[in-house]
C-alpha cells in the first residue's frame, strides 16, 4: 500500500518538532504540487535521514543570518561529519574491508562550480576539502593520497577516523563474514546529502559519506560524483542521493532528477521517476536501497526511495520536521 507524503505545517511551525510522515489530520498538506501544496518560502534547507535535523539546524542559522546556501550546506554537513556516533559519515564512519576509513564528498554552488574528494583518509571534514578543491584549484576532484596531501597543505589536521566503537564493529564483521564479499544492507547507509536555497534564491548542495561499510579497498561510491550523488542547476533545482551508490551512478541519479524537474515535474515526482528507473535497471532488487531528495527553484521539495524506511529533514521558517518518503518496495 502506498502512503502519501504529508507535511503538517500548522503542527510543525516553528516548534522544532519531529513528525512522522503518516501524520493524519485536517491540516495535512500534500507537497506534490497539488492545489493546496505550499511552496516553501526561502530560505530552505533539506537533508537526508534523521541526522539531517541537527545538520539542518546548523545550516539554518547561517541561512537566517543571510549566509549563502553554500556556507549553509558546508556548515550543516560538517556537523554530521564530526559526529563520532554516526557510522556512515566522517569520523566514526565504518571502514573498508581492511579497516581503513575512506571518505567521499562533494559540494556544488549556484554557478555550476563544484569540488569533490574521494577515497580521502585521515581528514575529519572532507566537505571542506571539497570546497577548497572547488575554490582554490582549477580541478573538480582530488582522490586518495593526492587529496590528503592537498588537505594537509591547506591546513587540515590529520585525525584518526576509526573509533574504538567502529574498530570493534569491523573486527566483529571480519569474524563473521567472508572478507571478499562485503555485504550491503539497508542499515549501513546513512550518508548526508543536503540542499539549500538562501535568501537570494540561490541553490547549493553537499554530500558526504564514508561509503559502503566494509567495501573493497579503493571503492568509491556516488557521493563525490557530481551528477550522481549531487547536482545543482540554479535555473531549475537541486537533488542528492543516499543509498547504494553503484545504483545511483548507473542512472546519473541526481542530474536526471534535475532534468526531470526542468521538464516541469515536481521534486517528489522527479525522485520517484529516478527510483523507478533504478528498479527497472536492476534484476535483483534485494539490498537495493536508494533514497533521493530534491528541491526546485520555486521552493517545492520532495523525496522518494526504493524501500520503505527513508526520511529527510526539512527546515524553513514554517517547518522543522522529518518527512518519511514514499517508496516502491515495502520492507515490512
In angstroms, rounded to a whole number, what is the distance separating the alpha carbons of residues 66 and 298?
A: 19
Instruction: Please tell me whether the peptide bond between 43 and the residue prior to it is cis, using omega within 30 degrees of 0.
Output: yes
Q: How many CB atoms lie within 10 A of CB 212?
A: 24
Nearer to ligand SD4, 92 or 211 (CB): 211
| Position 325 contacts ligand SD4 (CB under 6 A) | no
- Residue 263, Cα to own-chain centre: how many angstroms? 23
| Position 80 contacts ligand SD4 (CB under 6 A) | no
Cα-based distances in Å from 256 to 207, 253, 328: 17, 5, 18
| Position 222 contacts ligand SD4 (CB under 6 A) | yes
Nearer to ligand SD4, 124 or 222 (CB): 222
Which of 68, 80, 86, 88: binder of ligand SD4 (CB under 6 A)?
Answer: 88
Nearer to ligand SD4, 40 or 290 (CB): 290
Smallest gap from Cβ 270 to ligand SD4, in A, equals 18
Nearer to ligand SD4, 94 or 203 (CB): 94
Considering only residues 265 through 324, tell me which ones interact with ligand SD4, judged by CB under 6 A.
none
In angstroms, rounded to a whole number, what is the distance separating the alpha carbons of residues 319 and 47?
A: 13
| Position 126 contacts ligand SD4 (CB under 6 A) | no
Among 188, 192, 130, 126, CA closest to 159: 126
How are beta strands 192-197 and 44-48 bridged, if at all?
antiparallel
Smallest gap from Cβ 239 to ligand SD4, in A, equals 13
Which residue in the block uniquely carries the three cell numbers 547549493?
204
Nearer to ligand SD4, 6 or 212 (CB): 212
Which residue in the block uniquely carries the three cell numbers 566503537?
165
For residues 173 and 163, the answer to whether their CB atoms sit within 8 Å is no
Smallest gap from Cβ 50 to ligand SD4, in A, equals 12
Nearer to ligand SD4, 250 or 262 (CB): 250
Which is catalytic among the residues 75, 166, 191, 208?
Answer: 191
Q: What is the CA radius of gyration of the chain?
A: 18
Which residue in the block uniquely carries the three cell numbers 510522515?
21
| Position 186 contacts ligand SD4 (CB under 6 A) | no
Nearer to ligand SD4, 40 or 206 (CB): 206
For residues 43 and 201, the answer to whether their CB atoms sit within 8 Å is no
Which of 223, 254, 296, 320: binder of ligand SD4 (CB under 6 A)?
Answer: 223
Which of 211, 227, 253, 299: binder of ligand SD4 (CB under 6 A)?
Answer: 211
Which residue in the block uniquely carries the three cell numbers 576539502?
129
Residue 209 known to be catalytic: no
Q: Which stretch binds ligand SD4 (CB under 6 A): 29-37, 39-47, 145-153, 208-216?
A: 208-216
Which residue in the block uniquely carries the three cell numbers 578543491?
133
For residues 328 and 275, the answer to whether their CB atoms sit within 8 Å is yes
| Position 243 contacts ligand SD4 (CB under 6 A) | yes
Q: Which three cell numbers stand for residue 57?
A: 539546524
E-strand ranges in 78-190 read 103-108, 114-120, 141-143
For residues 198 and 297, the answer to whether their CB atoms sit within 8 Å is no
| Position 86 contacts ligand SD4 (CB under 6 A) | no
| Position 212 contacts ligand SD4 (CB under 6 A) | yes
| Position 47 contacts ligand SD4 (CB under 6 A) | no
| Position 191 contacts ligand SD4 (CB under 6 A) | yes
| Position 119 contacts ligand SD4 (CB under 6 A) | no
Residues belonging to the active site:
191
Contact residues toward ligand SD4 (CB under 6 A) are 88, 189-191, 209, 211-212, 221-223, 242-245
Amino acid at each position: 500500500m502506498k502512503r502519501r507524503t504529508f507535511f503538517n505545517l500548522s503542527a510543525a511551525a516553528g516548534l522544532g518538532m519531529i513528525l512522522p510522515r503518516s501524520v493524519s489530520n485536517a491540516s495535512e498538506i500534500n507537497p506534490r504540487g497539488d492545489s493546496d501544496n505550499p511552496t516553501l518560502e526561502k530560505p530552505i534547507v533539506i537533508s537526508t535521514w534523521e541526522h539531517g535535523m541537527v545538520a539542518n539546524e546548523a545550516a539554518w542559522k547561517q541561512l537566517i543570518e543571510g549566509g549563502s546556501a553554500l556556507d549553509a550546506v558546508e556548515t550543516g554537513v560538517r556537523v554530521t561529519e564530526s559526529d563520532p556516533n554516526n557510522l556512515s559519515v566522517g569520523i566514526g564512519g565504518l571502514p573498508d574491508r581492511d579497516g581503513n576509513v575512506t571518505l567521499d564528498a562533494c559540494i556544488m554552488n549556484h554557478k555550476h562550480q563544484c569540488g569533490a574528494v574521494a577515497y580521502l583518509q585521515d581528514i575529519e571534514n572532507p566537505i571542506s576539502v571539497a570546497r577548497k578543491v572547488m575554490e582554490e584549484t582549477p580541478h573538480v576532484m582530488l582522490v586518495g593520497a593526492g587529496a590528503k596531501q592537498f588537505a594537509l597543505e591547506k591546513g587540515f589536521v590529520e585525525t584518526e577516523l576509526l573509533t574504538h566503537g567502529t574498530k570493534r564493529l569491523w573486527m566483529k564483521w571480519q569474524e563473521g563474514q567472508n572478507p571478499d564479499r562485503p555485504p550491503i544492507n539497508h542499515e549501513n547507509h546513512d550518508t548526508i546529502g543536503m540542499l539549500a536555497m538562501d535568501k537570494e534564491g540561490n541553490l547549493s548542495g553537499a554530500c558526504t559519506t564514508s561509503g559502503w561499510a566494509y567495501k573493497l579497498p579503493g571503492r568509491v561510491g556516488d557521493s563525490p560524483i557530481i551528477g550522481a550523488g549531487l547536482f545543482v542547476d540554479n535555473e531549475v533545482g537541486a537533488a542528492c542521493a543516499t543509498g547504494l551508490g553503484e545504483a545511483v551512478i548507473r542512472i546519473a541519479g541526481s542530474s536526471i532528477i534535475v532534468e526531470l524537474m526542468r521538464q516541469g515535474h515536481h521534486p517528489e515526482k522527479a525522485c520517484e521517476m529516478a527510483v523507478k528507473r533504478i528498479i527497472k535497471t536492476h534484476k535483483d532488487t534485494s539490498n537495493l536501497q536508494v533514497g533521493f531528495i530534491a528541491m526546485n527553484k520555486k521552493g517545492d521539495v520532495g523525496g522518494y526511495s526504493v524501500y520503505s524506511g527513508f526520511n529527510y529533514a526539512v527546515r524553513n521558517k514554517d517547518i522543522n520536521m522529518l518527512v518519511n518518503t514514499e517508496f516502491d518496495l515495502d520492507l515490512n
